[in-house]
Amino acid sequence: MASSEEIFEKVQETLVDALGVDDDEVTSEATLIDDLGAESIDFLDIVFRLEKNFDIKIPRGELFPENLANADSGFVADGKVTEDGIAQLREKMPHADVDKFAEDPQVSKMSDMFTVDMICKFTASRLG
């Protein structure tokens, strides 16, 4: 099994290739959208590269869940994710730091959960 340093280095390389950023920008805490400038299409590219680099399969929506915060999802009220929504996030995104998000669960801050560390944890869980 790969060590967490090895996984981080490979994830870092993956993000450098997918997002055209420098490796020193890809820190463990960096957020994909705000810090590394990822756009929606980059998420598919990242998934493809992780699958290739780690020889794993990532089913649609598992790393980056879709539609969780849609207005009709029932998990959003007054611009915040409801408690049911938080519970749903914990279930769907065990690799993300949902506790931190739950402190101030504004929908606009949901993307802050998408961090480099989140990808590393997800990948580690896949590598078993």
**What is the binding site for other proteins (CB under 8 A)?**
17-18, 20, 41-42, 44-45, 47-48, 51-52, 60
Nearer to other proteins, 13 or 97 (CB): 13
Please list the alpha-helical segments (H only) found in the chain.
4-19, 40-54, 83-92, 98-103, 116-127
Q: Which two tokens stand for residue 88?
A: 């749903």
Which residues lie across from 106 on neighbouring strands? Answer: 80
Nearer to other proteins, 56 or 102 (CB): 56
Q: How far is the CB of 45 from other proteins (least distance, A)?
A: 5
**Measured from the CB of residue 80, what is the shortest distance to other proteins in angstroms?**
27
Q: Identify which of residues 60 and 100 has a Cβ nearer to other proteins in the complex.
A: 60
Q: Distance between CA atoms of 3 and 104, rounded to whole angstroms?
A: 33
Q: How far is the CB of 54 from other proteins (least distance, A)?
A: 13
Both ends of the chain: CA-CA distance in Å?
7
